[in-house]
Homo-oligomer: A and B are copies of this chain.
């Protein structure tokens, strides 16, 4: 392999020996010490990736002796999806730190004693402070990525992403640039800081006490010292651009006005359990005069004090059944409605 380090030749080095971090620690100094111990030093254009865990510990963002669930709710701005699990409730939320992620990024691993760790509410500010301090200590103009870990909706396993960024453009915008055939590129904007976070995780690992990584060879990616860039917060998608504002179950419940019903379990369970949940959702969606929804064999029987209410309640039952992968077939009989069901292909 060529020893030449030009564009297209990237080195990623895990920083060992940082050890346990405590509230008040100077993370930049710990990084510089770790570099020195590895006979390395920072140069202009380098990028340092640091796990949020270290940043949170240094900032003293531990919550002691308390209910983790409570902390998750406090660190959440909005519920996106939830399921009941053996151990409690698993929630995907819009976190106070910015991104949509499981448990608002509240972390009970790698923390000593009975405490949980929360994320900084302004991770970009944390990255900027780290960048400034690294410059003070070394004179080098570097980029900083504060990384965190999250799952993905349609893929198993977690990857690291950029929670906070300073001195780097979060996105390398290729819109309008031409591809090798002279055509305008349809792939428009690379989230380069998320790719840096993922790459850093390859050397950082989780259990090995390597909470930081050095990148060398990224060329002109690092911005001038007086330009922190727009930060990782700019990567958070919201509003009309968010096509997945809620999970599919949560969306239907919200549309019916039954958002307050207990989350469904991770595994849907028996037909009986699924029918009972659908009945509960239908009835929770606002009061219905004389409204009754109850199981009758493998079907649901719907009753109400008047036909208008019966029609509304039946429609709710049909929509709620869809969230259980069931198609309802409604027939009026004996002053009520019998809704039989057919399994939806999954």
Contact = CB atoms under 8 A, between A and B. Distances in A.
A187 B311 CA distance: 47
Interface string A194-209: 1110110111011101
B322 A254 contact: yes
Q: How many copies does the complex hold?
A: 2
B1 A11 contact: yes
A234 B156 CA distance: 8
A306 interface: yes
Interface stretch (A24-32, A134-142, A174-182, A292-300): A174-182
Contacts of A174: 206-207
B247 A216 contact: no
A97 interface: no
A14 interface: yes
A110 interface: yes
Interface of A: 1-2, 7-14, 16, 20, 38-40, 81, 83, 92, 99-100, 107-112, 149, 152-161, 170-171, 174, 177-181, 183-192, 194-196, 198-199, 201-203, 205-207, 209-210, 214, 216, 218, 234-252, 254-257, 266-268, 306-316, 318-320, 322-323, 332, 346
10 contacts: A10-B199, A81-B243, A83-B243, A109-B186, A152-B152, A157-B192, A194-B198, A240-B268, A240-B346, A243-B247
